[in-house]
Amino acid sequence: MPRWLDAGRVRGIALDRRGARALHDAVTHRGLRRAFTLASRLGDAPMWIVLLLVMPLLDPVNGTTVAQRMLVLGSVNYLLYVSLKRSTRRERPFQQCDGILAGLPPPDAYSFPSGHTLHTVAFGVLFTSFYPALAPLLFTFALAVGMSRVVLGLHYPSDVVIGAGLGTATASLLLYLDA
């Protein structure tokens, strides 16, 4: 690797670690930490599966279509997420950074990208296309889930940013192909 490129990579890693440490250390209040833990748990796969199953009941007009799109989007994103996790094998902040503790047990061994953020943003984009009035709530929730992953020591800020970008891209592509 060229020296200039490696120097940039090293600076990026250091910046990512400082960001992870700063967010992790900034949230010390017990109630706020519990709120981030709840946000992270709400971004777990079982919540999305339940939502997919009840969508036809919640919205008799569009619910089945939304559930079908969720299934396709979730499957594509899962395959993308697993392939990136396995190819990059980036350790989690609590494993690499002194003073960062895991606030929850990690769902898998690796950090990059944040699957919670990827799915939350992707489903947020999808839901916003059907229910535009929910956009502020959906994207506030996505922000809370993404921040929770860093606060809880499970991801670096770049894992969350890339996860959000991938979620936006895959949902946008699905919606474009459906149009």
Tens of pLDDT, residues 22-61: 888 888 888 999 999 999 999 999 999 999 999 999 999 9
pLDDT band for position 8 (cuts 50, 70, 90): low
pTM attached to this predicted model: 0.91
pLDDT of residue 101: 83
Domain, as residue range, for 91: 3-178
Per cent of the chain over pLDDT 90 is 71
Place of tokens 């898998």: 108
Question: Into how many domains does the chain fold?
Answer: 1
Residues 6+ apart with CB under 8 A from 96: 17
Helix H or strand E segment including 44: none
CATH number at residue 73: 1.10.606.20
Using CA of residue 91, residue 92, residue 98, residue 102, what is the dihedral sign?
Answer: negative
Comparing 138 with 7, the larger pLDDT belongs to 138
